[in-house]
Chains A and B, each alone.
Chain A
């Protein structure tokens, strides 16, 4: 079965640079979530989209922005990168009904040097 696809899987950027992560949800899933997991930490919710509209916002820095496109894929844009942004970024998707299971991608490793 198709899963959530994230790209790139690994990314190395320098401080103050910009990075973009992409997420392709499971087909027919209309809700996308972004999570950030720092080393040894639990995943922290950043932001979610339902039907291309932002549905919820968590601890996403102002330097980050995200959107969901007409084909339901989503992109997380991170600017003015800081060393502390180094983390594993997960995308997840689900169907619109609350409580439906969310399925996670393998994550994108961002290293800021």
Chain B
């Protein structure tokens, strides 16, 4: 069965520091991978996605993610975090199961300190 694991429930980084959010997936075929961000009380906004091709994917707001098949990982990175990046981040895998659906990880809450 498809699954997504985000090992870190929450992470705190200083403003201006680099960030890496971890994501591991379990899927029998080549996965379609996504990172979404959710601010408190808000909807889910797509940061970036990986379908095929270049394993390093650029997204919005200065985020990038790297697909590593050998490690079944799709970690999200940002070189310099801004206070406005504080939010919940969800990794997700597109799964086929009689139709189309997206399976989400449990999320990682990012706190940014001044």
Using a CB–CB cutoff of 8 Å, the interface residues on chain A facing chain B are 31, 33, 41-45, 48, 50, 54-58, 90, 92, 94, 98-99, 101-107
Contacts and interface: CB of A to CB of B under 8 A. Distances in A.
Contact of A104 (B36, B49, B103): B36
Contacts of A41: 106
B102 A102 contact: yes
Interface in B34-53: 34, 36, 42-46, 49, 51
A58 B100 CA distance: 11
Which secondary structure characterizes the binding site on chain B?
strand
Nearest to B45: A104
Given A33-B101, A90-B43, 10 more contacts: A33-B100, A42-B105, A45-B101, A45-B103, A50-B99, A92-B44, A101-B46, A103-B46, A104-B44, A104-B46
Given A42-B90, A104-B44, A107-B43, A99 B104 contact: no
A44 B49 CA distance: 19
A99 B44 CA distance: 17
